[in-house]
Amino acid sequence: MALEFRSVTKRFPTNSGEELTAVQDVNFRVEQGEFVSAVGPSGCGKSTILSMTAGLYQPTEGEVLVSGEPVKGPNTHVGFMLQKDLLLPWRNIISNIEFGLESRGVGKEQRRARAMQELKHCHLEGFDQQYPYQLSGGMRQRAALARTLAIDPEIILLDEPFSALDAQTKLLLQNSFAKTIAEAGKTTLLITHDLAEAVLMSDRILVLSERPGTVIADIKVDLPHRDEPIKRRTLPEVADYAAQLFKLLKLEEKAA
Amino acid sequence: MAQRHMTTIVSLTLLALVLLAWEFLPPALDVPRFIIPTLSDCLAEFQRMWAFEGLWTHIVSTALYTALGFAIGSLLGAVLGYLLGMSAFWEKVLSPYILALQIAPKVAFAPLFIMWFGYNSIPKLLVTVLIVFFPVLVNVLQAMRTVDRDLINLARAYNLSRLGIFWKIEMPSTVPNLMAGLRIASTLAVIGVTVGELVGGNTGLGFLISYGGGQANAAMVFNAIILLTVIGFVLYSALVRIEERVLHYLPKAHG
Ligand SMILES: Nc1ncnc2c1ncn2[C@@H]1O[C@H](COP(=O)(O)OP(=O)(O)OP(=O)(O)O)[C@@H](O)[C@H]1O
Ligand SMILES: [Mg+2]
């Protein structure tokens, strides 16, 4: 098992003095090599779950375990990616990809070699000397993935990495991410608003309730082609899964 | 390209028109030359100043103190800005005093500095340092406050130390604001030196202004002002050049 949340509750102090409970009693496990998505209403604590996994802050109650060890702070097991690519604009693409390796005592030449390898994996050959502003949004996200993969994390955390992209770029990028991640055999937790995306990319989907967020359903996606969302997309069952999520999130009632 | 040619041509034409107006309008309107000297008066006075007033020494002195005051003031401003930017506590403690000092008219300190340090070059240097210091400090501090939290979290997730975060994230993120602060500061540096020289001392273009003014030599004052502007302009242009090189990674608005 790669990632486990054990009765995790997170409360934030607020300006009014009262505490805000972002997530309450969250329990789930992600197995080695699994691709799990988390969907839920806005503000239900999805990003909070991600930040706790990355060790950016601690749960108020409960435990977060990565590879069986409690997460005590930022650590080398986890790599994360957000909607914003967070590329450093003053660095060219290759040294952006190297960024995560610099604080890990990896020698200069080794860093470059490693980064070049990931550049290829993410289909950015020839763009190593470009600066982020010279790349399209989709290419920047691929560069961010390359940077995440370069540190060879055990778990990859993705917080809506495709949500700022147009529909076509999104589909192509989902496909390329799915392939790259499957090839690398990485355990992945994807946070998304896009129900179809969750169905197309995951082995399992966690459905979270309104704030305070808690896991209300854990759905196994029993479909082939996890590494090729474009193929999976053509399967008729995809619509059924999406409908099921739709119902669980009570979207109809909310629209009424 | 044609566009750029056009702006240059119009710009130069405008300059020529202004120079012509300067040369011919005052005599045409019967303005006496001790009120508004013409272009040729100023050129003649320039030659005289160069030959008999040691103009070159004055220019060098002013340029030197402008550069020195600018360098010291912006270095101090940047260093303090970064230090305060790293400590929310000290920033809160000191911000009202910084604000007060920022509002206080710095040039008004010149007579005080002369009382304290005498008629030498220290007062004008101090005024310049003081006037340059704040825009740099305030710009750096502002930029440190607005560094993207997510970038810092990313760096933390990659196990960067506090110092590593400073050098690899905060410092480069704040360079655009630092450069903007330096640009403002460069224009103020000339003012600082000028006031320092006006108030006390016997060297520099500021001194020539008060000396020329005392003799009702308007052409001398004109020349000194023009030369001060040139010094400021050179400093400013140098900074713009540096900025273009340092910030090459920012997308350019015009192709
Ligand atoms: N650092 C923080 N300090 C205080 N409150 C916070 C903090 N981070 C998150 N919260 C609060 O916790 C709740 C959950 O936030 P979170 O960002 O995890 O939601 P989310 O599910 O990711 O939402 P979205 O889908 O809109 O991104 C929100 O009400 C938010 O205001
Ligand atoms: Mg979020």
As for the ipTM of the complex, it is 0.84
Distance A46 CA to ligand 2 centre (A): 6
Neighboring chain A residues of B166 at a CB cutoff of 8 Å: none
In this predicted structure, the answer to whether residue B254 has a pLDDT above a threshold of 80 is no
| B255 domain-assigned | no
Is B18 in the same domain as B68?
no
Question: Please, which residues bridge with residue B61 across strands?
Answer: none
Residues B162 and B206 in one domain: yes
pLDDT per residue as tens digits for the range B189-205: 999 999 999 988 789 99
The reply to whether B11 and B117 lie within a common domain is no
Asked if B5 and B61 sit in the same domain, the reply is no
* Residue B255: pLDDT over 50: no
Mutate to test the pocket of ligand 1, among A46, A51, A80, A157 (most ligand atoms within 8 A of CB): A46
User: Do B16 and B88 belong together in one domain?
Assistant: no
Q: How far apart are the first and last CA of chain B?
A: 11
Domain for residue B168, yes or no?
Answer: yes
Q: How far is CA A186 from CA A52, A141, A210, A226, in A?
A: 19, 18, 29, 13
Q: Residues B14-26: pLDDT tens digits?
A: 999 999 999 999 9
CA A197 – CA A177 distance, rounded (Å): 12
Residues of chain A with pLDDT under 50: none
B161 with B241, same domain?
A: yes
* pLDDT reported for residue B190: 96
Whether B108 and B24 share a structural domain? no
Same domain? B25 vs B111: no
Residue A49 contacts residue B209 (beta carbons within 8 Å):
no
Domain of residue B117, CATH code: 1.10.3720.10
Which residue of B152, B159, B169 to mutate against A (max A Cβ within 10 Å)? B159
A83, two tokens: 């909607």
| Domains, in order of start, for chain A | 28-192+207-255 (3.40.50.300)
Q: How far is A256 from chain B (nearest CA, A)?
A: 36
Looking at the fold, whether B113 and B220 belong to one and the same domain comes out as: yes
Amino acid at B220: M
Contact A56 B157 (CB under 8 A): yes
Secondary element (H or E) of residue B219: helix B218-246
What are A147's strand-pairing partners?
A: none
Number of Cβ pairs < 8 A linking chain A and chain B: 50
Secondary structure E strands in A40-142: 61-66, 69-70, 78-81
Q: Are B84 and B50 members of one domain? A: yes
**What digits encode the pLDDT tens for the residues B57-92?**
999 999 999 999 999 999 999 999 999 999 889 989
Considering only CA atoms, which residue is closest to atom 14 of ligand 1? A45
Q: Which two tokens stand for residue B36?
A: 């508004």
Q: Are residues B8 and B75 in the same domain?
A: no
Same domain, B106 and B206: yes
Cβ contact B160–A90 (<8 Å)? no
Residue nearest atom 25 of ligand 1, based on CA coordinates: A42
**How many structural domains are present in chain B?**
2
User: What integer pLDDT is reported at residue A1 of this predicted model?
Assistant: 61
Q: Does B252 reside within a domain? A: no
Atom nearest to A160 CA in ligand 1: 27
Structural domain range at position B97? 37-246
How confident is the prediction for chain B on average, in pLDDT?
Answer: 92
Taking contacts as CB-CB distances below 8 angstroms, the residues of chain A near B157 are 54-56, 74, 78-80
> pLDDT tens digits, residue range A72-128?
988 888 888 988 999 999 999 999 999 999 988 889 999 999 999 999 888 899 999
- Helix ranges, B87-170 (H): 88-103, 110-117, 122-145, 149-157, 162-165
> Measured between alpha carbons, how far is B155 from A71 in angstroms, rounded to an integer?
17
